[in-house]
Structure 1
Amino acid sequence: MAQFDTNLLLKALSFAAYKHRHQRRKGVKAIPYINHPIALADLLVRTAHISDPEIIATALLHDTVEDTKTTPKELAREFGPVISQLVAELTDDKKLTFEERKRRQVEHAPSLSPRARIVKLADKTCNLRDVIQDPPAKWTLKRKQEYFDWAKEVVDKIRGTNVELEKAFDEALARRPGKLNRNRKRAAD
Structure 2
Amino acid sequence: MSNPGAGVLAVMPLHTISEVYGEAGLRERLLLEIAELPDTTRLAAALDLATDLHRDDRYGREPYLSHLLRVAIRIITYYEVTDPDVVAAGLLHDSVEDHASELAADRPGPTIDAALSTLTDRFGERVADLIAAVTNPQPDPSRDRQAQYREHIATNLDRDPWARVIKLSDFTDNGVGILYAGPAMPKLAAKYRPLTPVYRDLVTRPDTPLAEHVRQHILEQLDRADERFDAILAHD
- Taking structure 2 as the reference length, what is the TM-score of the superposition? 0.65
Give CA-to-partner distance per residue, 1:78-119, whole Å, 9 cap, x none: 111110011111111134353244232343144332211111
RMSD between aligned alpha carbons? Answer: 2.6
Give CA-to-partner distance per residue, 1:27-52, whole Å, 9 cap, x none: 2x1x1111111110111111111111
Residue 176 of structure 1 pairs with residue 222 of structure 2? no
Q: Is the 8 A contact 2:190 2:233 kept in 1?
A: no
Residue 130 of structure 1 pairs with residue 164 of structure 2? no
Higher relative contact order (CA 8 A, sep 6+): 1
CA distance in 1, matches of 2:197, 2:156: 10
From 126, 137, 149, give the equivalent of 1:93.
Answer: 137
- Report which of the two has the higher share of helix: 2
Percent of aligned pairs sharing the same letter: 24
Q: Is the 8 A contact 1:12 1:57 kept in 2?
A: yes
Q: Is the 8 A contact 1:125 1:168 kept in 2?
A: no
Q: 1:176 to 1:86 in 2, by over 3 A?
A: same
- Taking structure 1 as the reference length, what is the TM-score of the superposition? 0.80
**2:17 counterpart residue number:** none
Q: What is the number of residues matched between the two proteins?
A: 175
- Please, which moves more after superposition, 16-25 or 101-110? 101-110
Q: Which consecutive unaligned segments of at least 5 residues does structure 1 have?
A: 183-189
Write out the 4+ residue segments of structure 1 that deviate beyond 6 Å after TM superposition: none
From 44, 50, 54, give the equivalent of 1:10.
Answer: 44
Q: Is the 8 A contact 1:76 1:83 kept in 2?
A: yes
Q: Is the 8 A contact 1:59 1:119 kept in 2?
A: yes
Q: Is the 8 A contact 1:16 1:61 kept in 2?
A: yes
- Please, which moves more after superposition, 157-166 or 115-124? 157-166
CA distance in 2, matches of 1:171, 1:84: 31
